[in-house]
Amino acid sequence: MHKIHTAIRYSEFSLTLHAQQLMTTRHIPVSDIRETILSAEAEIIEDYPRDPRGPSCLIYGKASARALHVHISYPPEIVIITAYEPDPTKWEADYKTRK
């Protein structure tokens, strides 16, 4: 997480077109992505070492008291793949465990 935090803190990351489109539709500004990943609650809740886009993970955190999930690639190139508010029908109440 240290390298991810550093990249986010210094804006050394990019967003996929998919992420940009969905973030706009879902009203999730880049500032909320930063806040989510840098929040005290932030943690990797799923790891995807065989993701076709390259190794990545799903991070849980909060921005403005709202729970968010951010799918992000691992260093050396940090890419935000998507971000969304977890659906309570698919996630337990802690938003960290799939139902």
**Average pLDDT over the chain, rounded to an integer:** 95
* Residue 3 pLDDT class (50, 70, 90 cuts): very high
Q: Is residue 72 part of a domain?
A: yes
Q: Is residue 96 part of a domain?
A: no
Q: Which domain holds residue 63?
A: 2-84
What is the reported pTM? 0.94
Total domains, the chain: 1
Residue 92 tokens read as: 């337990």
Q: Is residue 54 part of a domain?
A: yes
pLDDT at 53 > cutoff 80? no
Q: Nearest-CA neighbor of 24 among 78, 90, 84?
A: 84
Mean pLDDT of 83-97: 96
User: Distance between CA atoms of 76 and 67, rounded to whole angstroms?
Assistant: 26
User: Distance between CA atoms of 19 and 13, rounded to whole angstroms?
Assistant: 12
Q: Is residue 94 part of a domain?
A: no
Cα 72 to chain center, whole Å? 6
